[in-house]
Amino acid sequence: MVRAHSGPMETFESLVRAEFAPKNTYLNTASSGLLPARTVTALQEAARIRFEGSPLDPLFEDVEAARASFARLAGVPVARVAAGASVSSHSGVVAASLPAGAEVLTAEDDFTSVVNPFHARGDLKVRIVPLERLADSVRPDTALVAVSAAQSADGRIADLPALREAAREHGARTYVDFSQAAGWLTVDAESYDYTVSTAFKWLLGPHGAAFLVVPEDFGDLTPVLAGWVAGEIPWDSCYGPIAELAHSARRFDVSPALFTYTGVRHSLALMEELGVDAVHAHDLALADRFRAGLATLGHEPLPAPGSAIVSVPGLGGKQPELSAAGIEVSDRAGNLRASFHLYNTAADVDRLLDALSH
């Protein structure tokens, strides 16, 4: 039978089928996402440019295209987006902005790249509280609250609206890491002082790219990592001190990994075509299917309602045998962590549940 027309879901599924053909049951996006076919092709073309000795201009253009694409996904003007290499380096810039003795409020067992730069300073008061008490723990002497939007270990989603209001009430700044959320959960970067996200997980890019969103006035940040690319005219900023920093968030850029950003450009273009709302609905349906199946097997995952990440206590030790069977998940502190993204299907969920039933 030939269908008379194509609906939105068919468009979503056909786009995904055209870009992904995993050879195993890959349920580990929270560790690293799969690369779309278009991204692999773009990386090959970038390598050809370097093999032939052609000018690098197209690769630098890819950096700007990726920056603009991320800005649209984050809901902010492109002038507020800095391009870097990692969450930890961006966290270091934020940490460097704080005066000695300032209090930083963080969540218990949050991802190291978010919190460690504040500890490394040595002269900050870092206060750690359970995630569910974060908003209630903001106080008048809190200078900054740093937290992941979705927790890496178990997928719990922070109550960001409550945190935003508490921070505003007490005059604290906010720093939110969307690395485990951007791509399946809407990123409202406009609502926070600073946000960050790596690109190699749910955004499906290669390793080595991360975006920092800053306020229009740059907040309290100083471009402590500024090199030549942070100049208003980069090619005029190659020698000696930078005479004129970029008038945009590009002043917080670090020299880009050009191949990586070429890949990120094409991965983000796919995410824009699919739409985060459609990805969210798809991912959550699979995660909920897994949760329901776990209940029938007598297993109870850690509470993380509305998350695409599901962690199951006591089953982390099964990761090696699952991997040997072609099912990729993570072992996180003894918990089996499965994460569901756009290239996964109900059959993937059922295969994991079947493997866990034996």
- Give yes or no for a contact between 213 and 184, defined as CB atoms under 8 angstroms apart: no
Where residue 333 falls (left for φ over 0; alpha for ψ -120 to 50; beta otherwise) is: left
The ranges assigned to domains in the chain are 8-35+275-356, 49-273
pLDDT of residue 333: 85
Structure tokens at 316: 């982390």
- CATH number, span 8-35+275-356: 3.90.1150.10
Q: What is the pLDDT of residue 4?
A: 39
Whole-number mean pLDDT of the chain?
96
Give me the pLDDT at residue 2, please.
31
Q: Are 351 and 25 in contact (CB under 8 A)?
A: yes
Q: Report the CATH number of the 49-273 domain.
A: 3.40.640.10
Span 149-156, mean pLDDT? Answer: 97
Residue 8 confidence (pLDDT) above 90: no
pLDDT tens digits for range 36-77: 999 999 999 999 999 999 999 999 999 999 999 999 999 999
- C-alpha–C-alpha distance, residues 84 and 78, integer Å: 14
Beta bridge partners of 182: 185
Q: What pLDDT, on the 0 to 100 scale, is given for residue 206?
A: 98
Q: Given this model, what pLDDT does residue 142 score?
A: 98
pLDDT at position 30 over 60: yes
**Which pTM value belongs to this model?**
0.95
Task: Confirm if 150 and 302 have CB atoms less than 8 A apart.
Answer: no
- Interval 110-134 mean pLDDT: 98
The answer to whether residue 10 scores a pLDDT higher than 90 is no
Banded pLDDT at 7 (limits 50, 70, 90): low
* Residue 25 DSSP one-character state: E
Please, which pLDDT band fits residue 331 given cuts at 50, 70 and 90? very high
Check whether 1 has a pLDDT greater than 60: no
User: What local confidence, expressed as pLDDT, does residue 5 receive?
Assistant: 42
**Do residues 144 and 170 make contact, with C-beta atoms less than 8 angstroms apart?**
no
User: What is residue 279's predicted lDDT score, i.e. its pLDDT?
Assistant: 98
Per-residue b or e along 173-192, where b marks 16 or more CB atoms closer than 10 Å to that residue's CB: bbbbbbbbbbbbbebbbeeb
9: confidence class by pLDDT, cuts 50, 70, 90: low
Encode pLDDT of 291-327 as tens digits: 999 999 999 999 999 999 999 999 999 999 999 999 9
Q: What is the mean pLDDT of the segment spanning 165-190?
A: 98
- Tell whether the model's pLDDT for residue 6 goes beyond 70: no
- 3-state SS class at 75: coil
Percent of the residues in the chain that have a pLDDT greater than 90, as a whole number: 96
Strand partners, 133: none
